[in-house]
Amino acid sequence: MNNMKKKLLGLPYYIWCAVFILIPLGMVFYYGLTDKSGAFTLENIASITAPEHLKALALALLLSVIATLICLLLAYPLAMILCDMQVNQHSFIVFIFILPMWMNFLLRTLAWQTLLEKTGVINSILQFLHLPSLTIINTPYAIVLGMVYNFLPFMVLPIYNALSKIDDNVIQAARDLGANGIQVFLKIKLPLSTPGIISGITMVFVPALTTFVISKLLGGSKVLLIGNVIEEEFTQASNWHLGSGLSIVLMIFILVNMVLSAVFDKDGEGSFL
Amino acid sequence: MNKVLIDLKNISKSFDGEMVLDDLNLYIRENEFLTLLGPSGCGKTTTLRILGGFTSPDQGKVIFDGQDITKLPPNKRQLNTVFQKYALFTHMNIAENIAFGLKIKNKSKSYINDKIKYALKLVNLDGYENRMPDSLSGGQQQRIAIARAIVNEPKVLLLDEPLGALDLKMRQDMQYELIRLKNELGITFIYVTHDQEEALTMSDTIVVMNKGYIQQIGSPERIYNEPENAFVADFIGDSNIIDGIMIEDKLVEILGVKFPCVDTGFGNQKPVDVVIRPEDVILTDPLKGRISGTVTHLIFKGVHYEMEVTAGGYEWLVHSTSMFPVGTNVGIQVDPFNIQIMNKPESEDEEAVMIDE
C-alpha cells in the first residue's frame, strides 16, 4: 500500500517522460526507418555513407574529441588545485566558475561571436596594439573554442567531486610507503579519480558531438558538423525521414560512450548530478 | 637497556597561533612499545605526525638513529604508519596494497610475493590476496594496513589510534595481536591512544600528555600506582583525589582526620593532593574505620561493586567485592602504602588546566 503511494508520487514524472522523451524517441525511430510513403526502409540510415554526411560526422567527431581533450587538460589541474584549497576559498572559485553557466547558453556563444569577429573586440585590441589580427571566426578553431568554453564546467565538477572524495590519509599512506609526488599522482590520485574523468568525458563529448548551435554561430555556414546537417534536414529541407535516420546513427555513438562510462564508473561516483 | 633510537629535542608546534606542543623532549628506545596517551588535543597525534614527517615542527629537532631527519619528507623516512581509518587503497586488491611500498622500491617479483605471503600469515589472513579492501571487516582492514606497513621492514611502526574504529571485543583481540606482532618483529612501536586501558595493556612505556606537555613518563605499573600529579591520577583509572595537608613525613591529614602514609620529603604543614584508588578503600564497621560515612550509591559491575560513600564531606568512590546496601553506615580504612601524595600544581594556571579536564 505504502509502496503504491510512493509510485503514485512518480506519476507526473512518468507522464513527462512518456510525452517528452519516449514518444519523440519513438517518432525519431519511426521517421528514420520509413520513407515518405510510410514504407520501411534503411535508406535514411545508409545515407550516412554519402560523402558530405561522412565528412560532417568525421569533423564533428574530430572537433568534439579535441574539445574534450582540451577540457580534460584544463579541468584536471584546476580540480586538483580546488581540492587543495581551504573550504571558503574553493567555494568562491567554484562559484566564479559556475557563474557563466547561469547565463543563457545562446547568449554566451553569441558573445564569443562578437569577440572573435573580424572587426570584433579582440581584433580591435590587437589592432590598437599594432599586432596582426586574428581570423579564427568561421573556422573549426572557433568551434572548438566555443565547445571548450561552454562545456568546461561539466568536466571540472565531476573530476573535482571524485578528487575531493579521496581521503587525505590515503595520500599520506602512499607517501609513508615511499611514494614521491609523481608516484602518488599516478598510482593513487589518477586511478581513484578515473570515474570522475569518465563522467566528465561523457558530459562534454556527448553535447559537443551533437551541437549545431556552436558550429552555426561560430563556424558560420562554412563549417558543417553532423548536428548542422540534421538540423537543416528538419528545418530547411523538411526531410524528417533523413534527419531522423542520421540522428539514429549519431545516437549509436552516444550509446557507445554511455556504455563505456557505465563500465568504468560502476558506482556512479563521478557524477554530480 | 636498548639503545636510544629516536630523540625528540625541544619540539614546539602551534597551529593558528595555538600552542599544541611546547618544548617537548622525548627519547624512544629500540624495540620499545611506547604509548602516547592523553585526551584529545593533548598533542599526541601531532607528535606522531612529526615523527612520520607529515607535520614539521616550528622548533626543535627529530633525531633518528643519530641522524637529524627533521626536514626529511615521509617517503624518505625509515618508519611506517598505520592510520586510524586504515587508509587502504580501495582500487587495489589486498596483495597490491601490501606490495605498494615494495614495488616503489623496485623489489623483485618473487621477493614481493614471498613478503605478501609472510605478512598475511603474520596477521592471520592468509589466502586474502585477491580480495578487495571493501569486502573486509574493520578489524581485517586494520590488519591489512599493518601488514602493508611491516613488509617494508621499518625500524619503527607508528600507530595512530589504530583500534579506535573497532568494537570492544575486536579491540581486545587486536591488543593481544599487536603485542604478539611487536615481539615477533622485534621493532619499535609508537602507539597513540586516548584509551588508558589500551595503553596499560600493551605498553612498555607510557607517556601521558596534556595540553602539549608531557605529564609523566613511565612503565604502566608506575603510571598507575604512582601518578606524579592529579591529572595523571585522574586520567589513568578512577581515583579519589582529595585535598590534604602533609603534617609531617609519613602523616597526612585529609578531611580533618590524620592518616599514616609512606611518603616523605614534602615538608611540614604543606597542602598536597592525596590520591587513593577506589579499590584501595577498605570498608569496615563504622567504629573500626578512621573516618565513617554513609553509602549513597551502589552499582554491580561484575568483578566488583562500585559504591559511593559520603564521609567527611567528600564522595568517596569505592570498589569492593563485598556489598554494603545504600544507607549503611560504614567506616573507611586505607593502608598507608596505598595513599599517594602529590604536590599541588604550582600556578593557578596549571590548576585551571586540571579542573578543565
Give residue-wise pLDDT tens across range B300-343.
999 999 999 999 889 999 999 999 999 999 999 999 999 999 88
User: Is the dihedral angle over the CA atoms B140, B146, B148, B153 positive or is it negative?
Assistant: negative
B237: Cβ contacts below 8 Å, ≥ 6 apart: B196, B224, B277
pLDDT tens readout for residues B134-159: 999 988 999 999 999 999 999 999 99
Write out the DSSP string of chain A.
-HHHHHHHHTHHHHHHHIIIIIHHHHHHHHHHTB-TTS-B-SHHHHGGGSHHHHHHHHHHHHHHHHHHHHHHHHHHHHHHHHHHS-HHHHHHHHHHHHGGGGS-HHHHHHHHHHHHSTTSHHHHHHHHTT-PPP--TTSHHHHHHHHHHHHHHHHHHHHHHHHHTS-HHHHHHHHHTT--HHHHIIIIIHHHHHHHHHHHHHHHHHHHHH-SHHHHHHHTTTS--HHHHHHHHHHTS--HHHHHHHHHHHHHHHHHHHHHHHHH-TT--S---
Among the partner-chain residues B90, B104, B148, the one whose CB lies closest to the CB of A183 is B104
Half-sphere exposure of A111 (CA within 13 A, CB side): 9
- Gap between the Cα atoms of A243 and A29, Å rounded: 11
Optimal mutation site among B77, B83, B159, interface A, most CBs of chain A within 10 A: B83
Half-sphere exposure of B136 (CA within 13 A, CB side): 23
Task: Give the residue ranges of chain A where pLDDT is below 70.
Answer: 1, 265-273
The answer to whether A174 contacts chain B (CB < 8 Å) is yes
Instruction: Look at residue B167 and tell me whether its pLDDT is greater than 80.
Output: yes
- Contacts of residue A180 in chain B, CB cutoff 8 Å? 75
Q: Are B34 and B205 in contact, with CB atoms under 8 Å apart?
A: yes
Q: Has residue B57 got a pLDDT over 90? A: yes
- At B223, is the secondary structure helix, strand, or coil? helix
Smallest Cβ–Cβ distance between B101 and the set A169, A170, A177 belongs to A177
Instruction: Choose among B113, B119, B45, B110: nearest CA to B81.
Output: B45
Task: In whole angstroms, give the CA distance from residue B159 to residue B150.
Answer: 12
Structure-block grid coordinates of residue B259: 592518616
Output phi, psi for A59, to 5 deg.
-65, -40
* pLDDT tens digits for range B83-105: 988 899 999 999 999 999 999 99
User: What span, in angstroms and rounded, lies between the C-alpha atoms of B49 and A56?
Assistant: 59
**Domain ranges for chain B:** 4-225, 240-356
Per-residue pLDDT tens digits for B195-249: 998 999 999 999 999 999 999 999 999 999 889 888 999 898 888 999 999 999 9
Which domains are assigned to chain A? 49-264 (1.10.3720.10)
What does the pLDDT read at residue B348? Answer: 45
How distant is the Cα of A144 from the closest Cα of chain B, in angstroms?
A: 34
Provide the ipTM: 0.79
pLDDT in tens, A91-136: 787 788 778 888 888 898 999 988 888 888 888 888 888 888 878 8
Q: In this predicted structure, what is the pLDDT of residue B59?
A: 94
Helix (H) or strand (E) holding B205, with range, is strand B205-210
Distance from CA of A204 to the nearest CA of B (A): 25
Asked if the C-beta of B134 comes within 8 angstroms of chain A's C-beta atoms, the answer is: no
B344 contacts B272 by C-beta, under 8 angstroms = yes
Chain A contact for B4 (CB, 8 A cutoff):
no
Of B80, B89, B149, the CB nearest to A170: B89
Are A137 and A113 within 8 A, CB to CB? yes
Q: Which CATH class is domain B240-356?
A: mainly beta
Nearest-CA distance A73 → chain B (Å): 23
pLDDT at residue B164, as a whole number: 84
Nearest CA in chain B to A186: B104
Interior/surface letters A129-160, b for 16+ CB within 10 angstroms, e for the rest: eeeeebeebbbbbbbbbbbbbbbbbbbbbbbb
Mean pLDDT of chain B: 91
Helix (H), strand (E) at residue B230: helix B230-235
What pLDDT, on a 0 to 100 scale, did the predictor assign at position B150? 92
pLDDT of residue B356: 41
**What CATH number labels B4-225?**
3.40.50.300
- Entry pTM: 0.79
Average pLDDT over residues B40-51: 93
Q: Answer yes or no: do A167 and B87 touch at CB < 8 A.
A: yes
Cβ atoms of B211 and B218 within 8 Å: the answer is: no
The C-alpha atoms of residue A7 and residue A234 are separated, in whole angstroms, by: 37
Cell (9 digits) for A272:
554530480
Strands laid side by side in the B281-284 sheet? B281-284, B329-334, B291-300, B305-311, B314-320
Q: Which of A169, A179, A187 minimises the CB distance to B87?
A: A169
- Residue of A177, A183, A186, A265 to mutate when probing chain B, most B C-beta within 10 A: A177
DSSP character at residue B287? T
